[in-house]
Chains A and B, each alone.
Chain A
């Protein structure tokens, strides 16, 4: 077991975040006890805003390449109004959202209260145009649509 403890500690040191992130995946799993990682609270969080993301870090300072990718994609589409929750600040949230979504990793993206996926999926949706469509359904016009009004008629 000392091998995995050493690895987790090395990871924490590398990110320079001290003990804030906790030891991922080890120890007690957060039960639905009404804490910050409870399914009741998470259910409310993902439904409160149209676009909700769970990140390592913040949109201003992502602490992980995958979380950063999610932030950048949303920025590209001009989505400014979204709720971002930093799992590094809250170990209960970090484990709770993984249980709630039944998804093993962070970042996690929710659109209209529905789990969409992680960074891989968001990136593919961005590349194949699906993200523009999904945002449209939420009443958000992607910045990538630009001012394309009568150009088709040329």
Chain B
């Protein structure tokens, strides 16, 4: 299966109506297929961390079966703006 950072980025953006998505392929520094993602979406508003992460996990359920390591950061648009101002 084609598991590229670009593919993941597009899927996350589409399914989570994300305003901003970054996907980093961290495979070289680990021993197997690994990714780190940042998703900024209004869908996260009012949701605790676990629920946000589950949204992402559900979006990538199929792909995660083939990914060894996965890190994620989930922010609302407001949190993202604040973070960029730091």
Tell me, yes or no, whether A binds B.
yes
Spell out A's residues near B (CB within 8 Å). 4, 7-8, 10-11, 14-15, 24-25, 65-66, 102-105, 115-121, 124-125
User: Residue of A at shortest CB range from B72?
Assistant: A120
Given A10-B31, A11-B68, A116-B50, 4 more A-B residue pairs with CB atoms under 8 Å apart are A25-B66, A105-B64, A121-B49, A125-B49
Determine if A66 and B50 form an interchain contact, defined as CB atoms under 8 angstroms apart. Answer: no
- Chain B contact-residue range equals 20 to 34
- Shortest Cβ gap from A88 to chain B (Å): 13
User: Residue of A at shortest CB range from B67?
Assistant: A104
Chain A residues with Cβ below 8 Å from B65 are 25, 104
The verdict on A14 contacting B31 (CB below 8 Å), with A104-B70, A120-B72 known, is yes
B33 interfacial contact with A, CB 8 Å: yes
Chain B residues with Cβ below 8 Å from A4 are 66
How would you classify the secondary structure of chain A's contact residues: helix, strand, loop or mixed?
Answer: helix
Which of the listed residues A4, A8, A14, A104 has the most CB atoms from chain B within 10 Å of its own CB? A104
Determine if B32 and A115 form an interchain contact, defined as CB atoms under 8 angstroms apart. Answer: no
Which B residues from 55 to 86 make CB contacts under 8 A with A?
57, 61, 64-73
How far, in whole Å, are A14 and B69 apart by their CA atoms in the complex? 15
Determine if B49 and A124 form an interchain contact, defined as CB atoms under 8 angstroms apart. Answer: yes
